[in-house]
Copies of this chain bind each other. A is one copy, B any other.
Amino acid sequence: MAATAIKTRARELLRPAAKLAADLGIPPTAITIAGLVLSGLAGWSLGTGHFPAAGVLLAVAGVCDMIDGAAARAGNRTSAAGAFLDSTIDRYSEMFVLLGALHYYLARSPGSPEVASAVAAFLALAGSFLVSYVRARAEAVGEECEIGLAERPERLVVLIAGALLGSGVFRIALWILVVLSHFTAIQRIRHVLRGVRA
């Protein structure tokens, strides 16, 4: 699939950065936490209406997100604690970003489009969490679940593109995220049920 090829290419492009972080002895969890802080700032930028700034912050947060695991592998510092923290902190990042979006639309003396956008932020949070939750539950019952249209990188790209293009487009991006994430959650549920029953 094209999306997979792009992802592989992005990982290759970022490998030197991951290697550099490992060589400098930067702990992988510090990169994960930097991603969380940048996501928090992105959420704050969204909440205060600074959409292009939020797009840039999200892009840098996304880089942290993609290199923390690679840096851990390059420096032989992978651990169960690191993997656990990485994925848990990613969920907090999603929460802060979408909380900023919710706040932005609710703070504007809401009419119908703002209320709808706030509902979209809520549903996007639920969908994003479900995609990750289904995979975690699958792995807890011994199934792999690395499939699905909108994993975290795809979800981030939708948010980044929307934010860079301003609040009007961001609203559409939110709804795209709602559809993609819930579709992916259902894809994964079906995949896991087939796997478990086979």
Q: Which residues of B contact A95 (CB under 8 A)?
A: 123, 126, 130
- Tell me if B133 and A80 are in contact (CB < 8 A): no
Task: State A103–B141 Cα separation when bound (angstroms).
Answer: 35
CB proximity of A141 to chain B, nearest CB, Å:
4
User: Which of B103, B123, B134 is A88 in contact with, Cβ under 8 Å?
Assistant: B134
Q: Which residues of B contact A23 (CB under 8 A)?
A: none
- Tell me if A130 and B91 are in contact (CB < 8 A): yes
Copies in the complex: 2
- Tell me if B99 and A106 are in contact (CB < 8 A): no
Q: A133-B91, A136-B133, A193-B85 are in contact. Are A80 and B123 (CB under 8 A)?
A: no
Q: A106-B118, A129-B133 are in contact. Are A99 and B84 (CB under 8 A)?
A: no
Q: When each residue 74-96 of chain A gets 1 if its CB lies under 8 Å from chain B and 0 otherwise, what string results?
A: 00000111011101100110010
Q: Which residues of B contact A197 (CB under 8 A)?
A: 81
Cβ of A125 under 8 Å from chain B: yes
Task: State A137–B138 Cα separation when bound (angstroms).
Answer: 10
Residues 98 to 140 of chain A near chain B (Cβ within 8 Å): 98-99, 102-103, 106-107, 110, 115, 118-119, 121-123, 125-126, 129-130, 132-134, 136-140
Q: A106-B110, A139-B140, A140-B140 are in contact. Are A126 and B129 (CB under 8 A)?
A: yes
**How many A residues touch the partner, as a band?**
35 or more
Main DSSP-derived SS at the A contact region: helix
Residues 129 to 163 of chain A near chain B (Cβ within 8 Å): 129-130, 132-134, 136-143
Which A residues are within 8 Å of any B CB, using their own CB? 79-81, 83-85, 87-88, 91-92, 95, 98-99, 102-103, 106-107, 110, 115, 118-119, 121-123, 125-126, 129-130, 132-134, 136-143, 189, 192-193, 196-197
Q: List 10 A-B contacts (CB under 8 A).
A: A84-B137, A91-B129, A95-B123, A95-B126, A99-B122, A110-B115, A121-B122, A136-B139, A139-B139, A140-B140
